[in-house]
Amino acid sequence: MTAALRKWRRLAWPDRALLCEAVLLLAIARVAIAALPFRWLVRLLGRGDSAAAPLADMPEALITRVRWAVVAGARRVPWRAVCFQQGVAAHWMLRRRGVPSVLYYGTAPTLTQAGAAKGLAAHVWVRAGALDVIGGEVAGRFAVLARFPLSRPRAAP
């Protein structure tokens, strides 16, 4: 029996289900990012109040489990699951569970060894309240270009 199969068999059923959901959503995210116009993808990322909920209201254990499932699933899929796919999958998984999250899209200049500008690097990360879910470990290097969900315009009083 392979090591991966042994690990799978040791997982509790809820963890298996969460991992399967993550792999499925990584695949759907990959297809959506590659095939859909960006404006359609924005709709799939949701609209609503993107204000971060207070840390006390965040179900930290659930967020940690979603992070584990997405990262573990990304390591096991037969394609390279990049941060954009991982971020979309995590964002959808949290939204399905009623946990507000924000997906950030940012860029940073890439430099040559001599320090000259070479191009741009892009990165996606997800936060739920003050908690990093996916990609937060390097997010500080990137300037935010967009965040999803987009905030709804507030009605005038």
Cβ-count burial 39-64 (b if 16+ within 10 Å, e if not): eebeeebbeeebebeeeeebbeebbe
d(CA 140, CA 137): 8
pLDDT score recorded for residue 153: 46
Has residue 113 got a pLDDT over 70?
Answer: yes
Q: What pLDDT digit, counting tens, does each position of 59-82 carry?
A: 899 999 999 999 999 999 999 999
Cis omega before residue 109 (within 30°)?
no
| Chain-centre distance for alpha carbon 47 | 16
d(CA 55, CA 127): 11
Supply the pTM of this predicted model: 0.83
Q: In the 8-state DSSP scheme, what is residue 154?
A: P
Read off the tokens for 92.
């959808």
For the chain, what percent of residues have pLDDT higher than 70?
86
Burial class (CB in 10 A: 0-12, 13-18, 19+), 113: exposed
d(CA 153, CA 19): 36
Read off the tokens for 68.
């584990």
Average pLDDT over residues 86-109: 93
